[in-house]
Amino acid sequence: MNHFNPGALDILWLPLVPLIVVAVGAVVVLLAGVRVSDDDSEGLGWIALAFLGAALLFTLPLIGQSSSTAFAGAIAIDNYAAYFEITVILTAAVTVLMSLEYAPDFRLAGAEYYSLLLFAALGMMLMAAAGDLIVIFLGLETMSIAVYVLSGLMRQDPRSNEAAMKYFVLGAFSTGFLLYGIALVYGATDTIKLGPIAAALAGAKGGSPLLLAGLGLLLVGFGFKVAAVPFHMWTPDVYEGAPTPVTAFMAVGIKLGAFAAFLRIFLVYFGAAATHWNQVLWVIAALTMTTGNLVALVQGNIKRMLAYSAIAHAGYVLVGMTAAGAQAGSAVLFYLLAYAFTNLGAFSVVAALERRGERRDAIADYRGLALSHPGLAALMVVFLLSLTGVPPLAGFVGKFYVFSAALNAGYVWLTIIAVLNSVVSAYYYLSVVVVMYMTEGEARPIAVQAQPGMVAALALSLIGTVMIGVYPGPYMGAASSAFKSALSHTQVSSRQLKLRG
Amino acid sequence: MITWFPIVVTFVVAGVIVLVMTSASRMFGPRSPHTRIKGEAFECGNPPSGPAWGRFSVRFYLTAILFLIFDVEVVLLIPWGVEIRRLGVFGLVDALIFITVLIVGLIYAWQRGAFDWD
């Protein structure tokens, strides 16, 4: 009888400490908040923030470590994981700041709200650090189940109920696709570890229908989570119905988590076999950008408009993925960081204007905002310009890197489509600016209370958006070192394969 | 063929028991007149039919969720119990972490009043 040997698992706790801190934080918030009434949840938010801060501190020592794995390859230790973990923690922190006044005002159940937020962040971080398909699946489910509940937390609001129901049913369905894909890939290659799967894909059996069908199903599963076009139907309804900070968290965090795993599988590990999948991604990218931007043109609700804009931005990321290669990989990572701050900012402004019983989320509600709330209007302009891609803001640099990577890889037509789409998007982003600044104000001024949390969220997003745009060098450096560190896993594993062969 | 003989015996015994019981109750049992309620299918005392969209108390949903906590616990602890010697201290720590997480869920449900039926 062979004895189970925990030593063979190469247990390394250090890379897991940030995740454990976030998980413990979620539990602490849940238990601390059990007796806290819904309109008094600010303290719980601060506890959540403290744990996120601690997690951030514990992520820092992971930067710059040489790429390795732990737990028999289930957890990857590299700059790539650290990059996404830091971005996810910042996203969660900005979301918490945004909610400090919003959650009590809308009577969101505090204990559940902050705890689920942390659990979702945990799932995203796990997806970023995952080294095999099962851990990716675990992370995806941890993230998704928490967010299904979060989107329905406004229990008295039928739109919120609809959002939760739609997201849950469609999300469960797409999880089925992903899981079936994992099963087929396992069936074809006899492993769930990404390295050997990539080797099989690049090897003689690479064209096996079973493996390719598995890849296709994985693509569908991730396509749903990042809201790529044939799988985007849920996005506007869910984004509109969910509480606005949750919408921000979904638009940014879920994309970060899903893209972290998506990119690691396809771009990093399957990059050498890109011919198997990038034609499909070409089509999905073109469809996603075009549909997102065209439908956004006719939206009358700002959250729906931002939802379609989020779809379009997923399309730009997919352009970078289609290009494949190290340059495209770094560009895409950088783009996701720029997108995170910009979108968090835009949703913060939307959340700042909402009050209980008055969901001011029609674009018409923004009439005359420049007069009633000049500061918020100006911030909104900055974020919308960054989403459009106007220099010197983060969105511009991100698009510049992604599109030039696509051009260098020879995808001229795809780049042309992407640039045309950016031009189209300027129309609906700028029309919000027009509504705010150039129409007669009938916007009911709202009592501006002291909202330190919201101010902090807006300030962080603004700093991120402007700083990344003006001085992109260090962030691009971080993105490219992150991508390279992930790539070095594949080189190690192919070297090992050669040695064995 | 002989291997199937015990099964044949089982069937015969079962048939004889049923025959004896029904004929005994027919011979010795009291006779009451046939009524509508008597003609209905027996469903442990519940009315056997009703509208399909019956309404349940939402509390049953909480009971089901609570059941899930213990159900999952048992599902994972039984395999662990079978392999406890091989897994050793490592498995013990793992199981304790797992139980802790479940207990947190239990405490949460308790404190939120999921156990108060009224």
pLDDT digits (tens, 9 = 90+) for A334-388: 999 999 999 999 999 999 888 887 778 888 888 888 888 888 899 999 999 999 9
**pLDDT at B24 > cutoff 90:** yes
A437-467 residues labelled b (16+ CB within 10 A) or e (exposed)? beeeeebeeeeeeebebbebbbebbbebbbe
Nearest CB neighbour to B90, from listed A6, A27, A35 = A6
Q: What pLDDT was estimated at residue A500? A: 46
**pLDDT at A489 > cutoff 60:** yes
- Average pLDDT for A319-329: 90
Is B91 in Cβ contact with A31 (below 8 Å)?
no
Could you report the per-residue pLDDT of A47-68, keeping only the tens digit for each? 999 999 999 999 998 888 788 8
ipTM of the assembly? 0.78
- Average pLDDT for B25-35: 84
Q: Retrieve residue A190's tokens.
A: 């006899």
Indicate the domain borders of chain A. Answer: 8-500
Chain B interface residues (partner A, CB cutoff 8 A): 83, 86-88, 90-91, 101, 104, 107-108, 111-112
Q: How buried is B78 (Cβ within 10 angstroms: 0-12 exposed, 13-18 middle, 19+ buried)?
A: exposed
Residue with the bigger pLDDT between A150 and A11: it is: A150
Instruction: Find, among A184, A302, A291, the residue nearest to A231 by Cα.
Output: A291
Is A4 in Cβ contact with B87 (below 8 Å)?
yes
Residue with the bigger pLDDT between A358 and A475: it is: A475
Q: Contact, A369 vs A438, CB < 8 A?
A: no
A31 in contact with B, Cβ within 8 Å: yes
Secondary structure of A445-500 as H, E, C letters: CCCCCCCHHHHHHHHHHHHHHHHHHHCCHHHHHHHHHHHHHHHHHHHHHHHHHHHH
Q: What pLDDT was estimated at residue A259? A: 95
Q: Which residues contact A153 (CB under 8 A, 6 or more apart)?
A: A108, A109, A112, A113, A160, A243, A246
Q: What pLDDT was estimated at residue A7? A: 62
Q: What is the pTM of this model?
A: 0.87
**pLDDT at A494 > cutoff 80:** no
Could you report the per-residue pLDDT of A63-89, keeping only the tens digit for each? 887 888 888 888 888 899 999 999 999
B2-111 architecture in CATH? Up-down Bundle (1.20)
Nearest CB neighbour to B111, from listed A1, A27, A34 = A34
Average pLDDT, chain A: 89
Nearest CB neighbour to B108, from listed A1, A6, A34 = A34
Percentage of residues in chain B having pLDDT higher than 90? 17
The rounded distance, in Å, linking the Cα atoms of A490 and B49 is 63
